[in-house]
Chain A
Amino acid sequence: AQSVTQPDIHITVSEGASLELRCNYSYGATPYLFWYVQSPGQGLQLLLKYFSGDTLVQGIKGFEAEFKRSQSSFNLRKPSVHWSDAAEYFCAVGAREGGSYIPTFGRGTSLIVHP
């Protein structure tokens, strides 16, 4: 069965600093990988996704992620964090379940941004 590990429950950064959120996955085949963001009182918004091809994926809001098969990782990065980036971030792996792709989510990383 597929699984996702986000080892950091909380990450605190200063506004303008760079950011890296870690994600490790377990899945037998080539995975579909996703990063979502959830702001308080909001649903999940897709930041970026990886299916195949270039292992460096660009997303919305200036985020990018790099797929490293040898490390089973899909870490999310941003070169300069803005106060509005404070939110909960979820990594997910999409696996085929009953003929459809269903995402399995990690427990999330809470990003705190200091002014």
Chain B
Amino acid sequence: DAGVTQSPTHLIKTRGQHVTLRCSPISGHKSVSWYQQVLGQGPQFIFQYYEKEERGRGNFPDRFSARQFPNYSSELNVNALLLGDSALYLCASSLETGPFYNEQFFGPGTRLTVL
């Protein structure tokens, strides 16, 4: 079975531009989470979606938004890019979400470089 897939693999943008990153979860998984991993740091939680609804949001500005589609795939959008947005963006999927543990399976990430 295919794991979590993300596209594109790499992306170069300039300051002020907009970017859309895409994620396809493992088949049967209904929850998708997004993380930002700046070089030399651990992943930082951005969003969690379940059944197309936002279930969690990290401490990120409103320039960051996301959505989940009926097929459970997801998009992360970042507006007005800043140099500091350069990072590896990781998507993780899990069967579901809730007040109990659901193992998250991570994709390989999208490397975003902002010039």
* Contact residues on A (Cβ < 8 Å of other chain), bracket: 20 to 34
Interface of B (DSSP majority class)? loop
Say which residue of B4, B43, B48, B103 sits within 8 Å of A90 (CB atoms). B43
- B90–A107 contact, CB under 8 A? no
Complex CA–CA separation, A94 to B41 (angstroms): 17
Knowing A105-B43, A107-B40, A107-B42, the reply to whether A100 touches B109 (Cβ < 8 A) is no
Complex contacts, A96 vs chain B, CB 8 Å: 99
Complex contacts, A103 vs chain B, CB 8 Å: 45, 104
- B103–A46 contact, CB under 8 A? yes
- B97–A100 contact, CB under 8 A? yes
Of residues 73 to 100 in A, which have CB atoms within 8 Å of B's CB atoms? 90, 92, 94, 96-100
Known contacts A90-B42, A105-B44; 7 additional CB pairs below 8 A are: A32-B101, A43-B107, A44-B90, A46-B104, A90-B43, A94-B101, A98-B48
17 contacting pairs across A/B (C-beta < 8 A): A4-B42, A41-B108, A43-B108, A44-B43, A46-B104, A92-B42, A98-B56, A99-B97, A100-B50, A100-B99, A101-B100, A101-B102, A102-B45, A102-B56, A102-B58, A103-B45, A105-B42
